[in-house]
Structure 1
């Protein structure tokens, strides 16, 4: 199992982020409305300066990076035990650092692309360093016996073995997942769901619609007809996007998108609105969110122990 970031379709990353946020918002139910408390509109020069209120209750970049890296390492160690070669490196520290960098870059795209340096090289796509050293391997390409060891029996039957060795429940991925989570089950992920829900509500907020209109006017003056930063650059999406190099027209359009984001302060305006929405959710769900915060702290301590155990 390879330790990869990104996918062959990096051109569509902004759209994929939007779709994922929409999908993960499903399942939240409206509660009694709480009055929004105004949040001052910042004028940032980069997304790194912005921190949404719900971030305090969500797993940190470090925690999610450690969990992902440990999962890959322990899965590969299990596969090696069954005679399958370990394909990724054992540099857990480097893997964690790369994942943290990836998570932070992903956040810079929450309100459209905002990194001009990346736009200059990759257009609307992801930077080269997120692609990894090789193409991501699909599970469909893994031989059936190896896939059974990796994922376990689809039928979920007991006593599944490979060459006389008992396959763990859920395969090597299941074994790694249990080790990383310390035999505990994640309770809810409420903060993540609320974050997705507030993002989904943005498109109908009057101030965001006004900000989108101002941004759209800005890019129209440069020859582009985009409704908002989230839908910019769709004409450059290809179904088969194995060539990661952005064309000169794409780079020009991406540059216009980023420049107008800052010229109209789109990200500052949208951030203020989403912060207000998140503050309302925090007030409505204070007790549950505080519980998640404590759970994250406990997970962070356990993961740090595992990182040290495996050479981090």
Structure 2
């Protein structure tokens, strides 16, 4: 099994699993005008979790994301109630790993955590997360009819065929199931199935991470980092190679001394050559280029996101 730290860092880099806690633009803000905020030499602080990226202006903030999620849950619950089902979602899992998209996007940076845990997440955080996963696994599964009511009759055929005859015919309790089930209805009401994050924004945010590694300045600083690690007796071509070393995986006996010493050496070399800063600056440049080349589409995406936020606010105000 891969390290939760590694899984979380990759997920954050891909923008998939973690809620963003970064400053985006306001609901009515025109995102392209915000590119002036990104001065390549400046920082809001030494902690990468306080940094930002231009494309975050086209994504909901953490508060907005929660509002959208809450509204979706409310709409699904209302739909299920019409069908005669008292439904509540499983409790959210506690956070693990990075606090937001940028926290671990460029690798480790916290000396205190690194000295205790190497490349692993905080032990108490990991324990809470694992306990919540176990509790969630112990919950009884919803009935097949409930599952189809939630997801619609276009769910996998092997699921639908197990449902009652009425549900297979698209009804429950004498009421017609909405297309895509109650989640489909809720997402149509909100205007998005992805919390307002468009496929283009998702694609560009993923692509900028990989493209930034090919920036000449990033390649140069990676080379310096690698040479610094060789001086310490460690052979890695790039910073994430150390993070992804298969020897540094969860171990019931705890984090090994080798992982701790490697991570501390990694962190020292990162700090010496400002690896995260140089890499982040390169990704800012890449994203600003994307925004310039896709400005019309991204402006439309931001407008659509603003609409989703307005609908979510209205739904939540009626609860």
> What TM-score do the two structures reach when normalised by structure 2?
0.68
| Gap regions ≥5 residues in structure 2 | 17-35, 161-166
In the alignment, what sits opposite 2:55? 54
In the alignment, what sits opposite 2:88? 86
Instruction: Note the 1:114-263 alignment, pairs <5 A.
Output: 114-127=109-122, 128=125, 131=129, 133-135=131-133, 137=137, 144-153=144-153, 154=155, 159-162=169-172, 164=174, 166-181=176-191, 188-234=198-244, 235-236=246-247, 238=249, 246-263=255-272
Q: Provide the C-alpha distance between the structure 2 equivalents of 1:242 and 1:164, rounded to a whole number of angstroms.
A: 53
Deviation at 1:196, TM superposition (A): 1.9
Q: Provide the C-alpha distance between the structure 1 equivalents of 2:85 and 2:102, rounded to a whole number of angstroms.
A: 39
List per-residue Cα deviations over 1:91-150 (Å, max 9, x = no partner): xxxx7xx77x987434211111223344345432344168275115599x7654443233
Does 2:315 correspond to 1:286?
no
Aligned 8 A contact 1:116 1:255 in 2: yes
In the alignment, what sits opposite 1:31? none
Greater relative contact order (CA < 8 Å, ≥ 6 in sequence): 1
Q: Provide the C-alpha distance between the structure 2 equivalents of 1:184 and 1:45, rounded to a whole number of angstroms.
A: 31
| Gap regions ≥5 residues in structure 1 | 1-6, 23-36, 90-94
SS at match of 1:105: coil
Q: Provide the C-alpha distance between the structure 1 equivalents of 2:12 and 2:300, rounded to a whole number of angstroms.
A: 28
Does 2:300 correspond to 1:302?
no
Question: RMSD over aligned Cα, in angstroms?
Answer: 4.3
Q: Provide the C-alpha distance between the structure 2 equivalents of 1:303 and 1:267, rounded to a whole number of angstroms.
A: 36
Q: Provide the C-alpha distance between the structure 2 equivalents of 1:122 and 1:161, rounded to a whole number of angstroms.
A: 52
Aligned 8 A contact 1:161 1:167 in 2: yes
Q: Provide the C-alpha distance between the structure 1 equivalents of 2:185 and 2:3, rounded to a whole number of angstroms.
A: 30
Q: State the number of aligned residues.
A: 280
Mean CA deviation greater in 8-17 or 266-275:
8-17
Per the alignment, do residues 103 and 150 of structure 1 end up closer, same or farther by CA in structure 2, a change over 3 Å counting? farther
